[in-house]
């Protein structure tokens, strides 16, 4: 299968992407973007920022489930993880994003969906 970004268009016309690990699991999801070009810039930002540990904001949900957000240099959130069962699992997720995001190809699924 292989690591990749999947670029999609939502029913409301906005764009978003998911970073998938080699096993096909989604390890990072983006916010919604008004344009496809902005979503592509978001992917580039993830690729640029993913290797830097200080860009990860480790958080806990109201249900006390660990998760993380990846921020750009300007502090804007560019991606969010799933909820994890433990802090160790979340750290594995961060490690996976650091490993998989740089250099991952983008599969553009917008043409197939529109």
Domain that holds residue 57: 4-113
Beta strand 4-9 with 106-108 is parallel
pLDDT in tens, 17-61: 999 998 899 999 999 999 999 999 999 999 999 999 999 999 999
109, 30, 54, 66: CA torsion to nearest 10: -120
Q: Is the pTM of this model over 0.75?
A: yes
CATH number at residue 17: 2.30.29.80
Cα angle 38, 33, 23 (rounded to 5 degrees) comes to 90
Q: What is the pLDDT of residue 1?
A: 55
Q: Which tokens go with 57? A: 């904001």
Domain count, the chain: 1
Give the DSSP H or E segment for 16: strand 15-20
Model pLDDT, residue 114: 42
């Amino acid at each position: 299968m292989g690591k990749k970004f999947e670029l999609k268009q939502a029913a409301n016309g906005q764009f978003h992407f998911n970073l998938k690990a080699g096993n096909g699991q989604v390890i990072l999801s983006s916010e919604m973007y008004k344009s496809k070009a902005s979503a592509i810039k978001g992917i580039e930002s993830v690729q640029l920022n993913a290797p830097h540990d200080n860009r990860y904001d480790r958080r806990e949900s109201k249900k006390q489930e660990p998760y993380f957000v990846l921020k750009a240099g300007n502090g804007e959130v560019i991606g969010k993880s799933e909820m994890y069962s433990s802090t160790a699992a979340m750290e594995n997720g961060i490690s996976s994003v650091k490993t998989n995001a740089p250099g991952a190809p983008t599969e553009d699924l917008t043409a197939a969906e529109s």
